[in-house]
Amino acid sequence: MTRTVQELAEETKGFVLDKFNTLDVRINEIEQKSARPSGEIEAPSMGRTVSTSDEFKALANRRYSGSARIEVKAITNASAGMAGVTYSADPVIMARRQTRVRDLLTVLPTRDLQVQWPRQIRRTNAAAPVAETLQKPYSDYGYQIETVTMRTIAHLAKLTRQAADDAPLLESMIDGEMRYGLQLAEDAQLLYGDGTGENLSGLVPNATAYALPTGYTLPTNPTYVDKLGAAILQQSLTNYPADGIVLNPIDWMTMRTLKDSTGAYLFGPPGAQVTPNLFGLPIATTQAMVQGTYLLGAFQPQYLWERMVIEVLISSENANDFELNLLTMRAEERIGLAVRYGGALIKGSF
């Protein structure tokens, strides 16, 4: 039967509208996907997995006659949170303390297991006016060789192979945690290492204890600022230029909120941006410093030697890791601390 021009036009119009509607739906799907937050990936749902399976399509071709066995993989503990759900690439990690002690020191590389340097231990100055033909006096200077040995700071951690495969980000997170753990241990060693066994010989054990300088009197009911002022005076009498103070954040806030007799804050109003500083010396605050104590003096002349910077390695060939689908992560560094001028450091408590 011959169709009229009007019938052909109507048929063409319907075809175009149908294609347009299909295109509109596809565009909406693309817009919805692009509107998702960055870093999020939508995994197929269980229903979508069934409807797109070859078994379901074959059943549909048979006009749903008979039955079909469709396997949907269960989500195990190893893959829970990683497969079959929306996974966000924005991790939530525990708070990390800022490490500061290393920043105070001079850091130098070395390829040796030990570093040695001469230390002057005696100075007897006999210089004096001498008459002609008479014996000139002898001065006496003594030295000894000091040695610092590189020490290893290290730790291990386990990671399941499934977790590493299902969440590549998890591996990098643990890498960061391993490094952070070393930095915490390093901070404690740089400050308080007692030099026994494999411990570093730290800054505080090598520092000179506070003693009120002769001829100087503290005011009645001295504040933290008054006490630090006396310690800074003691340090200045050693003739080593000081370059910093280490405090616990709580002790710095105690000083930051001191007020004068009128109620005004000594270090400026609470809204002011105040750089921690006292008597011209910058203050480094760290929770590694025991609350109620302080360390001040010359930090730059103290050397931190690095034999090996922080290294993180991952292996499946440790113990029975291969059998258990585990990975072992190892982080370590090799460093040595040379407190070359212990007399230039003053330690004390409030």
**Domain ends where: 33, 56, 88?**
88
Do residues 219 and 343 both lie within one domain? yes
The answer to whether the CB of 269 falls within 8 A of the CB of 326 is no
- What is the C-alpha to C-alpha distance for residues 245 and 276, in angstroms, rounded to an integer? 10
How would you class 350 by CB atoms within 10 Å of its CB: exposed for 0-12, middle for 13-18, buried for 19 or more? middle
Residue 93 included in any domain: no
Handedness of CA 181, 187, 188, 190 (dihedral sign): positive
Query: Do residue 155 and residue 52 come from a single domain?
Result: no
Q: Considering the domain boundaries, does residue 329 fall inside one?
A: yes
Please give the pLDDT value at position 259: 94
Confirm whether 231 is domain-assigned.
yes
The torsion region of residue 136 among left (phi > 0), alpha (psi -120 to 50) and beta comes to beta
Cα–Cα distance, 305 to 300 (Å, whole number): 13
Is 239 a domain residue? yes
Residues 62 and 147 in one domain: no
Tell me, yes or no, whether 107 and 63 share the same domain.
Answer: no
pLDDT of residue 45: 54
3-state SS, residue 123:
strand
Token match 């890791």: residue? 321
- Please indicate, yes or no, whether residues 111 and 257 belong to a single structural domain of this protein: yes
- Is 94 contained in some domain? no
Regarding whether 319 and 279 lie in a shared domain, the answer is: yes
**Residue pLDDT, tens place only, 152-171:** 999 998 888 877 776 666 66
- How many angstroms separate the Cα of 257 from the Cα of each of 224, 267, 272? 11, 8, 12
Q: Domain containing 240 — which CATH number?
A: 3.30.2400.10
What b-and-e string marks burial along 52-88, b requiring 16 or more CB atoms within 10 Å of the CB? eeeeeeebeeeeeeeeeeeeeeeeeeebeebbbeebe
User: Are 70 and 56 a contacting pair, CB within 8 Å?
Assistant: yes
**The two three-digit tokens of residue 29, written as one number:** 């799907």
The answer on 168 and 22 residing in a single domain is: no
- Does the residue 141 lie in any domain? yes
Tokens 């949170």 sit on residue: 81
Number of domains, the chain: 2
Say what the pLDDT of residue 23 is: 52
Q: 227 lies in which domain range?
A: 101-349
Does residue 32 fall inside a structural domain?
yes
Q: Average pLDDT of each block of 10 consecutive residues along the chain (350 residues)?
A: 60 56 58 53 54 65 57 47 57 70 93 94 95 95 95 92 72 81 94 96 97 94 95 95 95 95 93 91 93 96 95 86 89 95 95
Same domain as 229, residue 153? yes
| Final residue before a domain boundary, out of 63, 88, 113 | 88
Reading the block at residue 198, the tokens are 């494999």
Answer yes or no: do 173 and 35 share one domain: no
Whether 220 and 308 share a structural domain: yes
Question: How confident is the model over 6-26, as pLDDT tens digits?
Answer: 665 566 556 545 655 565 555
| Helix, strand, coil percent values for the chain (each to nearest 5) | 30, 25, 40
Domain end call among 88, 111, 139: 88
Judge if 121 and 33 occupy the same domain: no
DSSP string, 18-50: HHHHHHHHHHHHHHHHHTSPTTEEPPPPHHHHH
177 and 216 within one domain: yes
Give the pLDDT of residue 78.
Answer: 43
Tell me if the pTM is above 0.85: no
Any domain includes 95:
no
